Protein backbone atom coordinates (compact mmCIF):
# COMPACT_ATOMS: atom_id res chain seq x y z
CA UNK A 1 0.00 0.00 0.00
CA UNK A 2 1.37 3.40 -0.97
CA UNK A 3 2.10 5.82 1.88
CA UNK A 4 0.17 9.05 1.39
CA UNK A 5 0.05 10.47 4.91
CA UNK A 6 2.53 11.70 7.48
CA UNK A 7 2.38 12.63 11.15
CA UNK A 8 4.57 15.37 12.59
CA UNK A 9 4.35 15.34 16.41
CA UNK A 10 4.88 18.92 17.57
CA UNK A 11 3.24 18.98 21.00
CA UNK A 12 6.17 18.30 23.33
CA UNK A 13 7.19 20.64 26.14
CA UNK A 14 10.64 21.27 24.68
CA UNK A 15 12.16 21.63 28.15
CA UNK A 16 15.74 21.26 26.84
CA UNK A 17 15.27 24.57 25.10
CA UNK A 18 13.75 26.74 27.84
CA UNK A 19 13.09 29.62 28.11
CA UNK A 20 12.19 30.13 24.40
CA UNK A 21 9.95 27.03 24.40
CA UNK A 22 7.82 28.43 27.21
CA UNK A 23 5.72 30.29 24.61
CA UNK A 24 7.15 29.10 21.27
CA UNK A 25 6.73 25.41 20.31
CA UNK A 26 10.10 23.83 19.45
CA UNK A 27 9.09 23.02 15.84
CA UNK A 28 8.54 26.78 15.31
CA UNK A 29 12.18 27.60 16.13
CA UNK A 30 13.66 29.28 13.05
CA UNK A 31 16.49 27.89 10.98
CA UNK A 32 17.68 30.91 9.05
CA UNK A 33 14.34 32.38 7.88
CA UNK A 34 11.90 29.48 8.22
CA UNK A 35 10.49 27.49 11.13
CA UNK A 36 11.88 23.96 11.39
CA UNK A 37 8.45 22.46 10.75
CA UNK A 38 8.18 24.12 7.32
CA UNK A 39 11.40 22.41 6.18
CA UNK A 40 9.84 19.13 7.32
CA UNK A 41 6.68 19.84 5.29
CA UNK A 42 8.96 20.56 2.28
CA UNK A 43 10.82 17.27 2.87
CA UNK A 44 7.45 15.48 2.70
CA UNK A 45 6.41 17.26 -0.48
CA UNK A 46 9.71 16.27 -2.10
CA UNK A 47 9.05 12.63 -1.11
CA UNK A 48 5.57 12.76 -2.68
CA UNK A 49 3.55 12.69 0.56
CA UNK A 50 0.66 15.07 0.30
CA UNK A 51 -1.32 14.82 3.53
CA UNK A 52 0.30 16.05 6.73
CA UNK A 53 -1.16 15.70 10.20
CA UNK A 54 0.55 17.91 12.76
CA UNK A 55 -0.04 17.04 16.40
CA UNK A 56 -0.08 20.23 18.45
CA UNK A 57 -0.63 21.13 22.09
CA UNK A 58 -3.79 23.13 22.93
CA UNK A 59 -1.81 26.40 23.15
CA UNK A 60 0.11 25.98 19.85
CA UNK A 61 -2.15 28.03 17.59
CA UNK A 62 1.01 29.73 16.28
CA UNK A 63 1.72 26.54 14.24
CA UNK A 64 -1.80 26.66 12.79
CA UNK A 65 -1.37 30.36 11.99
CA UNK A 66 1.91 29.66 10.22
CA UNK A 67 0.30 27.19 7.78
CA UNK A 68 -3.00 29.12 7.48
CA UNK A 69 -4.07 32.11 5.40
CA UNK A 70 -3.34 35.69 6.45
CA UNK A 71 -5.72 37.81 4.31
CA UNK A 72 -4.58 41.19 5.66
CA UNK A 73 -0.89 40.46 5.19
CA UNK A 74 -1.53 39.03 1.71
CA UNK A 75 -3.50 42.06 0.49
CA UNK A 76 -0.92 44.43 2.00
CA UNK A 77 1.95 42.66 0.19
CA UNK A 78 -0.04 42.74 -3.06
CA UNK A 79 -1.01 46.41 -2.78
CA UNK A 80 2.64 47.30 -1.99
CA UNK A 81 3.67 45.26 -5.08
CA UNK A 82 5.98 43.06 -2.94
CA UNK A 83 5.61 40.05 -5.23
CA UNK A 84 8.56 38.03 -3.95
CA UNK A 85 7.43 38.39 -0.33
CA UNK A 86 3.88 37.51 -1.39
CA UNK A 87 5.17 34.27 -2.97
CA UNK A 88 7.14 33.45 0.18
CA UNK A 89 4.00 33.99 2.25
CA UNK A 90 1.85 31.93 -0.15
CA UNK A 91 4.27 29.02 0.10
CA UNK A 92 3.46 28.67 3.82
CA UNK A 93 -0.23 28.03 3.08
CA UNK A 94 0.37 25.68 0.16
CA UNK A 95 0.65 22.50 2.26
CA UNK A 96 -2.21 20.08 2.87
CA UNK A 97 -2.06 20.22 6.64
CA UNK A 98 -4.52 18.98 9.25
CA UNK A 99 -4.18 19.36 12.99
CA UNK A 100 -4.75 16.98 15.89
CA UNK A 101 -4.61 18.20 19.48
CA UNK A 102 -2.64 16.38 22.18
CA UNK A 103 -4.19 17.57 25.45
CA UNK A 104 -1.41 16.25 27.71
CA UNK A 105 2.24 15.89 26.64
CA UNK A 106 2.23 12.17 27.47
CA UNK A 107 4.98 11.17 25.05
CA UNK A 108 5.56 10.37 21.40
CA UNK A 109 3.23 7.36 21.25
CA UNK A 110 0.48 9.45 22.85
CA UNK A 111 1.03 12.12 20.19
CA UNK A 112 0.81 9.56 17.37
CA UNK A 113 -2.47 8.16 18.75
CA UNK A 114 -3.97 11.66 18.64
CA UNK A 115 -3.74 11.45 14.82
CA UNK A 116 -5.63 8.15 14.67
CA UNK A 117 -8.83 9.61 13.19
CA UNK A 118 -6.84 10.74 10.12
CA UNK A 119 -4.73 7.59 9.71
CA UNK A 120 -6.83 4.63 10.89
CA UNK A 121 -4.71 1.54 10.30
CA UNK A 122 -3.01 2.82 7.12
CA UNK A 123 0.78 2.97 6.84
CA UNK A 124 2.21 6.41 7.55
CA UNK A 125 5.42 8.39 7.70
CA UNK A 126 6.49 9.83 11.05
CA UNK A 127 8.84 12.82 11.23
CA UNK A 128 9.84 14.34 14.55
CA UNK A 129 9.12 18.06 14.55
CA UNK A 130 12.51 19.15 15.84
CA UNK A 131 14.87 17.26 13.50
CA UNK A 132 16.05 18.34 10.07
CA UNK A 133 17.76 16.19 7.49
CA UNK A 134 19.39 18.17 4.73
CA UNK A 135 19.84 16.37 1.41
CA UNK A 136 21.27 18.01 -1.70
CA UNK A 137 18.96 18.37 -4.67
CA UNK A 138 20.68 15.48 -6.54
CA UNK A 139 20.64 13.10 -3.57
CA UNK A 140 17.88 10.70 -2.56
CA UNK A 141 16.49 12.24 0.65
CA UNK A 142 16.10 10.20 3.83
CA UNK A 143 12.31 10.09 3.51
CA UNK A 144 12.51 9.12 -0.19
CA UNK A 145 14.82 6.26 0.74
CA UNK A 146 12.63 4.99 3.61
CA UNK A 147 9.55 5.09 1.36
CA UNK A 148 11.28 3.18 -1.43
CA UNK A 149 12.39 0.47 1.05
CA UNK A 150 8.86 0.23 2.46
CA UNK A 151 7.39 -0.02 -1.05
CA UNK A 152 9.78 -2.86 -1.94
CA UNK A 153 9.41 -4.87 1.29
CA UNK A 154 6.10 -3.87 2.92
CA UNK A 155 8.01 -3.70 6.23
CA UNK A 156 8.26 -0.78 8.66
CA UNK A 157 11.57 1.03 8.27
CA UNK A 158 13.33 3.51 10.53
CA UNK A 159 16.27 5.80 9.79
CA UNK A 160 19.47 5.08 11.68
CA UNK A 161 22.88 6.72 12.06
CA UNK A 162 26.06 5.73 13.87
CA UNK A 163 26.82 7.41 17.20
CA UNK A 164 29.75 7.00 19.55
CA UNK A 165 30.74 7.51 23.21
CA UNK A 166 28.22 9.25 25.48
CA UNK A 167 25.94 9.92 22.49
CA UNK A 168 24.98 6.22 22.46
CA UNK A 169 22.90 6.77 25.61
CA UNK A 170 20.95 9.69 24.12
CA UNK A 171 19.05 7.64 21.51
CA UNK A 172 17.05 4.48 20.97
CA UNK A 173 19.51 1.78 19.94
CA UNK A 174 19.07 -1.16 17.56
CA UNK A 175 20.39 -4.71 17.40
CA UNK A 176 21.28 -5.70 13.84
CA UNK A 177 20.62 -9.25 12.58
CA UNK A 178 21.91 -8.64 9.05
CA UNK A 179 22.76 -5.79 6.68
CA UNK A 180 22.83 -5.28 2.92
CA UNK A 181 23.46 -1.99 1.10
CA UNK A 182 22.77 0.04 4.26
CA UNK A 183 19.44 -1.72 4.94
CA UNK A 184 19.43 -3.64 8.22
CA UNK A 185 17.17 -6.30 9.64
CA UNK A 186 16.54 -5.11 13.21
CA UNK A 187 16.65 -7.83 15.89
CA UNK A 188 15.80 -5.76 18.99
CA UNK A 189 15.50 -2.23 20.34
CA UNK A 190 16.74 -0.71 23.59
CA UNK A 191 15.75 2.76 24.69
CA UNK A 192 18.69 5.07 25.63
CA UNK A 193 21.02 2.28 26.86
CA UNK A 194 24.20 2.66 28.89
CA UNK A 195 27.26 2.12 26.67
CA UNK A 196 27.62 -1.39 28.16
CA UNK A 197 24.00 -2.31 27.31
CA UNK A 198 24.02 -0.93 23.77
CA UNK A 199 23.37 -3.50 21.03
CA UNK A 200 25.28 -1.57 18.35
CA UNK A 201 26.44 1.95 17.50
CA UNK A 202 23.25 2.51 15.50
CA UNK A 203 20.87 5.09 16.89
CA UNK A 204 17.23 5.62 15.91
CA UNK A 205 16.60 9.12 14.64
CA UNK A 206 13.39 11.01 13.90
CA UNK A 207 12.28 9.56 10.56
CA UNK A 208 10.11 6.46 10.25
CA UNK A 209 7.80 4.77 7.77
CA UNK A 210 5.41 2.56 9.71
CA UNK A 211 3.41 -0.22 8.08
CA UNK A 212 -0.39 -0.59 8.38
CA UNK A 213 -1.74 -1.78 11.73
CA UNK A 214 0.58 0.30 13.92
CA UNK A 215 -2.24 2.37 15.45
CA UNK A 216 -4.02 -0.81 16.64
CA UNK A 217 -0.75 -2.11 18.06
CA UNK A 218 -0.17 1.18 19.92
CA UNK A 219 -3.70 1.11 21.34
CA UNK A 220 -3.22 -2.45 22.57
CA UNK A 221 -0.03 -1.59 24.48
CA UNK A 222 0.07 -1.79 28.26
CA UNK A 223 1.34 1.49 29.77
CA UNK A 224 4.67 1.55 31.62
CA UNK A 225 5.08 4.38 34.16
CA UNK A 226 1.62 5.59 33.00
CA UNK A 227 2.94 6.07 29.44
CA UNK A 228 2.91 3.98 26.30
CA UNK A 229 6.06 3.78 24.21
CA UNK A 230 6.51 3.57 20.42
CA UNK A 231 9.68 1.62 21.22
CA UNK A 232 7.54 -1.22 22.59
CA UNK A 233 5.74 -1.60 19.24
CA UNK A 234 9.04 -1.34 17.33
CA UNK A 235 10.57 -4.00 19.59
CA UNK A 236 7.56 -6.29 18.93
CA UNK A 237 8.06 -5.80 15.16
CA UNK A 238 11.82 -6.41 15.47
CA UNK A 239 11.33 -9.71 17.31
CA UNK A 240 8.98 -10.89 14.52
CA UNK A 241 11.52 -9.87 11.84
CA UNK A 242 9.20 -7.12 10.60
CA UNK A 243 11.41 -4.09 11.23
CA UNK A 244 14.12 -2.68 8.98
CA UNK A 245 16.49 0.22 9.55
CA UNK A 246 18.33 2.21 6.94
CA UNK A 247 21.24 4.58 6.65
CA UNK A 248 20.60 7.76 4.66
CA UNK A 249 22.31 10.49 2.67
CA UNK A 250 22.52 14.00 3.99
CA UNK A 251 23.14 15.74 7.28
CA UNK A 252 20.91 15.46 10.33
CA UNK A 253 20.40 18.41 12.68
CA UNK A 254 18.78 18.12 16.10
CA UNK A 255 17.21 21.57 16.19
CA UNK A 256 15.67 20.81 19.61
CA UNK A 257 19.16 20.82 21.12
CA UNK A 258 20.89 24.20 21.58
CA UNK A 259 24.14 23.19 19.87
CA UNK A 260 22.27 21.46 17.02
CA UNK A 261 20.11 24.56 16.60
CA UNK A 262 23.14 26.84 16.24
CA UNK A 263 24.85 24.44 13.78
CA UNK A 264 21.68 24.24 11.65
CA UNK A 265 21.36 28.02 11.59
CA UNK A 266 24.98 28.62 10.59
CA UNK A 267 24.93 25.95 7.87
CA UNK A 268 21.53 26.83 6.37
CA UNK A 269 22.49 30.51 6.38
CA UNK A 270 25.71 29.62 4.53
CA UNK A 271 23.64 27.73 1.92
CA UNK A 272 21.24 30.62 1.41
CA UNK A 273 21.35 32.17 -2.07
CA UNK A 274 20.32 35.48 -0.53
CA UNK A 275 23.23 36.01 1.83
CA UNK A 276 25.39 32.86 1.97
CA UNK A 277 28.44 34.68 0.55
CA UNK A 278 28.12 37.58 3.04
CA UNK A 279 27.81 35.14 5.90
CA UNK A 280 30.85 33.17 4.73
CA UNK A 281 32.92 36.39 4.68
CA UNK A 282 31.64 37.33 8.12
CA UNK A 283 32.41 33.86 9.57
CA UNK A 284 35.96 33.93 8.17
CA UNK A 285 36.55 37.34 9.75
CA UNK A 286 35.08 36.15 13.02
CA UNK A 287 37.09 32.88 13.00
CA UNK A 288 40.32 34.82 12.47
CA UNK A 289 39.65 36.66 15.76
CA UNK A 290 38.84 33.54 17.83
P1 LIG B 1 11.23 15.25 22.31
O2 LIG B 1 11.30 14.21 23.35
O3 LIG B 1 12.49 15.72 21.66
O4 LIG B 1 10.47 16.56 22.72
O5 LIG B 1 10.16 14.77 21.24
P6 LIG B 1 10.12 17.29 24.02
O7 LIG B 1 9.53 16.39 25.05
O8 LIG B 1 9.28 18.42 23.53
O9 LIG B 1 11.54 17.86 24.42
P10 LIG B 1 12.40 18.00 25.73
O11 LIG B 1 13.12 16.68 25.85
O12 LIG B 1 11.46 18.31 26.86
O13 LIG B 1 13.32 19.14 25.43
C14 LIG B 1 10.38 14.69 19.84
C15 LIG B 1 9.19 15.25 19.09
O16 LIG B 1 7.97 14.69 19.57
C17 LIG B 1 7.07 15.73 19.96
C18 LIG B 1 7.94 16.95 20.23
O19 LIG B 1 7.21 18.15 19.99
C20 LIG B 1 9.09 16.77 19.24
O21 LIG B 1 8.77 17.34 17.98
N22 LIG B 1 6.30 15.31 21.15
C23 LIG B 1 6.95 14.85 22.26
C24 LIG B 1 4.93 15.41 21.14
O25 LIG B 1 4.31 15.83 20.13
N26 LIG B 1 4.22 15.07 22.27
C27 LIG B 1 4.86 14.62 23.39
O28 LIG B 1 4.15 14.31 24.39
C29 LIG B 1 6.25 14.51 23.39
pLDDT of residue 224: 85
5-256 carries CATH number 3.90.550.10 = yes
Percentage above 90 pLDDT, the chain: 94
Ligand 1 contacts CB of residue 108 (under 6 A): yes
pLDDT of residue 172: 96
Query: What does the pLDDT average to over 41-62?
Result: 96
Ligand 1 contacts CB of residue 26 (under 6 A): yes
Report the separation in Å between the CA atom of 107 and the middle of ligand 1, taken as the mean of its atom positions. 7
> How would residue 226 be classed by pLDDT, with cut points 50, 70 and 90?
confident
Helix (H, G, I), strand (E, B) or coil at 159: strand
> How would residue 29 be classed by pLDDT, with cut points 50, 70 and 90?
very high
Ligand 1 contacts CB of residue 15 (under 6 A): yes
pLDDT of residue 225: 82
Q: Which residues contact 59 (CB under 8 A, 6 or more apart)?
A: none
Report the separation in Å between the CA atom of 288 and the middle of ligand 1, taken as the mean of its atom positions. 38
Ligand 1 contacts CB of residue 230 (under 6 A): no
Query: What does the pLDDT average to over 44-53?
Result: 97
For 221-289, where are the alpha helices, taking DSSP H only? 230-239, 258-271, 276-289
> How would residue 260 be classed by pLDDT, with cut points 50, 70 and 90?
very high
DSSP 8-state symbol, 40: H
pLDDT tens digits for range 148-173: 999 999 999 999 999 999 999 999 99
Q: Which atom of ligand 1 is nearest to the CA of 105?
A: 28
Ranges of each domain in the chain:
5-256, 258-290
Amino acid sequence: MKVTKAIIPAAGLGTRFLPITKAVPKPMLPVFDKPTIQYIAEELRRAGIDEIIIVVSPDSEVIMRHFGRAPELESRLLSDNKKKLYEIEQETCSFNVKFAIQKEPNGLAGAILCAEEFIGDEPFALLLGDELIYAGIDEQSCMERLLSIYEKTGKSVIATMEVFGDDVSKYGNIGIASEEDGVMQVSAIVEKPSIADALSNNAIIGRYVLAGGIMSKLKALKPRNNEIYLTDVLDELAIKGELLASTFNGVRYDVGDKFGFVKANVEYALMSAEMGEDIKTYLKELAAKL
